[in-house]
């Protein structure tokens, strides 16, 4: 009988947290970390200062909320997108596409993570790195499986997986250029094809033409 009220409280908590994250992202983008105050955040979010302190203890926690929101979205969306694919290259493509869509939905937050992460304490920064490594590890595993299956040439899968994450982040960092030319799904397909076409075994290129050939109309 308590599942209903508990679910409502949990949903309300997520909604409040989302309000704080959105307001913090807007303020951090315009004011920067050191200039932003909790009072400013409460006003931007349309809630009381007391409500803000139900979710954070200090300013660093506010930045952490923004960064966790992005990393938890990777953690949830990427593996979910990879489910149901037996072929490792299809699985990798779907995971990369999901990663790019998280970046697209949190472009300002992605830029903030680059700009403000140096302000985090050592233990908080370690937590963020661990969360990011967890998701990138899924891409590493797929790349290694592609090599074992004879789809891709031998390569440094760890480095290439991080290259893919950086290409996803570039959508946010250079959206002023790419956003007017293509959608996020087109961008993900194009970048994936550029990477894969460089290391795919020639004898399987026809089979994976839908993944390994860049979109001609975007040239």
pLDDT of the residue at 11 = 63
How many structural domains is the chain composed of? Answer: 2
Q: Which of 42-46, 89-93, 214-218 has the lowest mean pLDDT?
A: 214-218
Same domain? For 164 and 73 the reply is yes
Whether 23 and 73 share a structural domain: no
Predicted confidence (pLDDT) per residue in 93-143, tens digit: 999 999 999 999 999 889 988 888 888 889 989 999 999 999 999 999 999
Do 88 and 51 have their domain in common?
no
For 131-170, what is each residue's pLDDT tens digit?
999 999 999 999 999 999 999 999 999 999 999 999 999 9
pLDDT in tens, 41-87: 888 888 888 988 888 888 888 888 888 999 999 999 999 999 999 99
User: What phi and psi, each to the nearest 5 degrees, are found at residue 37?
Assistant: -115, 160
- Do residues 3 and 83 share a domain? no
Residue 159 belongs to domain with CATH number: 1.10.357.10
Residues 81 and 182 reside in one and the same domain: yes
Structure token digits, residue 42: 């409460």
**Of 145, 185, 147, nearest in space to 168 by CA:** 185
pLDDT tens for 12-34 read 667 777 888 888 888 888 887 78
With H, G, I as helix, E, B as strand and everything else as coil, classify residue 121.
Answer: coil
Same structural domain for residues 25 and 66?
no
Residue-level pLDDT at 36? 83
Question: C-alpha angle with apex 105: 37 to 212, nearest 5 degrees?
Answer: 145
Query: Please, what's the b/e burial string for 171-183 (b: 16 or more CB within 10 A of its CB; e: otherwise)?
Result: bbeebeebeeebe
pLDDT at 10: 62
Q: Do 110 and 209 fall within a single domain?
A: yes
The whole-angstrom separation of Cα 86 and Cα 187 is 24
């Amino acid at each position: 009988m308590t599942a209903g009220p508990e679910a409502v409280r949990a949903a309300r908590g997520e909604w409040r947290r989302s309000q704080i994250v959105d307001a913090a992202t807007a303020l951090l983008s315009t004011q920067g970390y050191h200039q932003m105050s909790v009072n400013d955040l409460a006003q931007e979010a349309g809630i009381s200062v007391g409500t803000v302190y139900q979710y954070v203890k200090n300013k660093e926690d506010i930045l952490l909320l923004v960064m966790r929101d992005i990393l938890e979205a990777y953690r949830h969306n990427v593996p979910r997108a990879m489910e149901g694919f037996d072929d490792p290259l299809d699985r990798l493509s779907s995971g990369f596409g999901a990663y790019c869509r998280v970046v697209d939905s949190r472009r300002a937050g992605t830029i903030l993570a680059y700009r403000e992460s140096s302000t985090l304490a050592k233990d908080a920064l370690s937590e963020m790195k661990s969360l990011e490594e967890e998701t990138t590890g899924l891409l590493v595993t797929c790349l290694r499986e592609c090599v074992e299956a004879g789809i891709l040439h031998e390569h440094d899968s760890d480095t290439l997986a991080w290259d893919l994450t950086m290409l996803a982040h570039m959508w946010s960092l250079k959206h002023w250029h790419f956003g007017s030319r293509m959608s996020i799904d087109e961008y993900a397909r194009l970048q994936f094809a550029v990477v894969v076409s460089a290391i795919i075994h020639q004898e399987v290129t026809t089979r994976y033409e839908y993944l390994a050939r860049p979109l001609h109309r975007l040239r």
